[in-house]
Chains A and B, each alone.
Chain A
Amino acid sequence: MSNLKETFLTPLGLNNPVAVQVLGICSALAVTAQLEPAIVMGLSVTIILALANVVISLLRNTIPNRIRIIVQLVVVATLVTIVSEVLKAFAYEVSVALSVYVGLIITNCILMGRLEAFAMANGPLDSLIDGIGNGLGYAIILVIVAAIRELFGAGCLFGIQIIPDCLYEAGYMNCGLMLMPPMALVILGCIIWYMRAKNPELQEK
């Protein structure tokens, strides 16, 4: 049981897919200008990753070694397509909000990384927990970056103004640069810096 707990918790901290393994950076830059798409993206990746992990884990003993990456990709792409079709039919609003992110989920290297490194070698239950853990680890970083960018770039969180008008009257201005993709990289860099400074065991000798 403690093993499962560990499987779930390490991706949130010491083995975070974004901040420690530096995976999934592309989508982390693309969707973090605002908090809302970041949360939607984080949750979708979590769900897809958990499902894909379970499927691959069930198939792991039958998959021919030479085409295993192709099989993993097909499973992920199929799952993403089915989920997006179902959303279009039953939760149209959500599917509109997801629109372009669906494509980004398929190409997210966290998925391939977890399928290859974990699900191919572990049972379904462990894989499910690992998928959820890694998905949430990814989501947490997205939310932190998005919150910083939206707060300083637009003065809002979830589109609601947070920085009071009196500050603007006193000469405060939103930092437009925050909304540009390069700032996401800079913030991400700072998070990685913090993680490594605080946990010396992460530093290479």
Chain B
Amino acid sequence: MNTNSNSYTIGYASIMVIIVAFLLAFVSSSLKEKQVENVKLDTKKQILSALNITDGDVASNYNEMVKDFVLNADGTLTEQSANDFKVDYSKEIKENRLHVFECNVNGEKKYLFPVRGAGLWGPIWGYVALNEDKNTVYGTYFGHEGETPGLGAEITKPFFSEQFKGKTVSKDGNVVLSVVKNGKVSDSSCEVDGISGGTITSKGVDAMLKESLSRYKSFLASAVATDANSGATKVEAAADSTAKCAAAKAVEANAAQASGKDGYGDFTAVEAAKANVDSIHQEVKDELKK
């Protein structure tokens, strides 16, 4: 058979392409489900890693501690079904679904945000967990697709991500958490060292934090409401201990209800509760004076 004739060459190429296409389609579709499961599990592992949990069973730890919410325009949160766990948060951000993960770590409430950005060679991503005050970093996780090993890729190492612990996220409504050139930290309350030799990746992390966390500005700003809430609790506790009046009890119930309604301080409700507490606190004081 003449393997150099035109018809043989064309026929060979066509058959090869069809066989290869079927083979790849078959492999891809038969393994799809398993791959998606793996990616989901890996995403959950990264989320847990940002919460400083690296041992134990990923799936059960995640189900136990983390709840997935989407931030609405009015600042309230809508819980997502656990079966509908998303892995592509850059798509979610693009389509304006801002996810907030509410986590319960050893009885303390933490908020966790996915952040997405670009490094030197490709996408980089991370998860930033904040304390209940929504302004102090509790833990972080960073990942990358193809940054240079030994340089940019070092952002995944604990020595880098652990620097963020305890840093302040925002001041006066602006995100101030930043990565600066190695050794050039001037404000240690909110700046961390970048990686020498990995300048563009470090800058990418910096831009990613600022860009992604700025989207949660309104949510982070409502930390004031939480402060007001805890302030209210303090005031009411004082009132309770000194006067033990029934009115304060009522307010406590009121405040509890307000915070119970959505847990992260619906601004108006808590503000109202605070005003309520203030007025009753005044009453209590007046009563004490008498």
**A interface residues (Cβ-Cβ under 8 A, vs B):** 31, 33-34, 37, 61-67, 70-71, 74, 78, 81-82, 85-86, 88-90, 92, 96, 99-100, 149-150, 153-154, 176, 179-180
A61 and B17 CA atoms in complex are apart in Å by 18
Q: A88-B31, A90-B34 are in contact. Are A179 and B12 (CB under 8 A)?
A: no
Contact across chains for A71 and B149 when beta carbons are under 8 A apart: no
- Which B residues are in CB contact (< 8 Å) with A82? 23-24, 27
The smallest C-beta distance from B10 to any residue of chain A, in angstroms, reads 9
Q: Is B279 positioned at the interface, with any CB of A under 8 Å from its CB?
A: no
Q: 9 nearest interchain CB pairs?
A: A100-B146, A33-B150, A89-B31, A89-B34, A64-B9, A92-B38, A33-B149, A34-B149, A179-B150
Instruction: Across the interface, name the chain B residue whose C-beta is closest to A103.
Output: B146
A89 and B28 CA atoms in complex are apart in Å by 10
Instruction: Across the interface, name the chain B residue whose C-beta is closest to A31.
Output: B149
Contact across chains for A63 and B31 when beta carbons are under 8 A apart: no
A153 and B27 CA atoms in complex are apart in Å by 41
- Which B residues are in CB contact (< 8 Å) with A85? 27-28, 31, 35
Determine which of A64, A78, A96 lies in contact with B12 in the assembled complex, contact meaning CB atoms within 8 Å.
Answer: A64
Determine which of A65, A74, A154 lies in contact with B4 in the assembled complex, contact meaning CB atoms within 8 Å.
Answer: A65
- Which A residues are in CB contact (< 8 Å) with B20? 74, 78
- Which B residues are in CB contact (< 8 Å) with A63? 3, 12
Determine which of A33, A89, A176 lies in contact with B148 in the assembled complex, contact meaning CB atoms within 8 Å.
Answer: A33
Q: A92-B42, A100-B145, A153-B150 are in contact. Are A67 and B24 (CB under 8 A)?
A: no
- Which B residues are in CB contact (< 8 Å) with A153? 150
- Which A residues are in CB contact (< 8 Å) with B221? none
Q: A64-B9, A78-B20 are in contact. Are A89 and B38 (CB under 8 A)?
A: yes
Q: Majority SS of interface residues in chain A? A: helix
Interface residues of B in 171-186 (CB under 8 A from A): none
The smallest C-beta distance from A43 to any residue of chain B, in angstroms, reads 16
A65 and B39 CA atoms in complex are apart in Å by 42
The smallest C-beta distance from A26 to any residue of chain B, in angstroms, reads 14
Contact across chains for A86 and B149 when beta carbons are under 8 A apart: no
A63 and B132 CA atoms in complex are apart in Å by 66
29 inter-chain pairs at a CB distance below 8 angstroms, sorted by A residue, are A31-B149, A61-B3, A62-B3, A63-B3, A63-B12, A64-B3, A66-B4, A67-B12, A67-B13, A74-B17, A74-B20, A78-B20, A78-B24, A81-B24, A81-B27, A85-B27, A85-B28, A85-B31, A89-B34, A89-B35, A89-B38, A92-B38, A92-B41, A99-B146, A100-B122, A100-B145, A100-B146, A153-B150, A179-B197
A80 and B17 CA atoms in complex are apart in Å by 16
Q: Is B230 positioned at the interface, with any CB of A under 8 Å from its CB?
A: no
Q: Is B85 positioned at the interface, with any CB of A under 8 Å from its CB?
A: no
- Other than the given A66-B4, A81-B27, A89-B35, 6 more pairs (CB < 8 A) read A67-B12, A74-B20, A88-B31, A89-B34, A100-B146, A179-B151
Contact across chains for B3 and A176 when beta carbons are under 8 A apart: no
The smallest C-beta distance from A171 to any residue of chain B, in angstroms, reads 18
- Which A residues are in CB contact (< 8 Å) with B121? 100
- Which B residues are in CB contact (< 8 Å) with A180? 197
- Which A residues are in CB contact (< 8 Å) with B196? 176
- Which A residues are in CB contact (< 8 Å) with B17? 74
Interface residues of B in 30-72 (CB under 8 A from A): 31, 34-35, 38-39, 41-42
- Which B residues are in CB contact (< 8 Å) with A74? 16-17, 20
A81 and B196 CA atoms in complex are apart in Å by 35
The smallest C-beta distance from B156 to any residue of chain A, in angstroms, reads 10
- Which A residues are in CB contact (< 8 Å) with B23? 78, 82
- Which A residues are in CB contact (< 8 Å) with B149? 31, 33-34, 37
A178 and B16 CA atoms in complex are apart in Å by 45
- Which B residues are in CB contact (< 8 Å) with A176? 196-197
Q: A70-B13, A90-B34, A179-B151 are in contact. Are A96 and B42 (CB under 8 A)?
A: yes
Instruction: Across the interface, name the chain B residue whose C-beta is closest to A96.
Output: B42
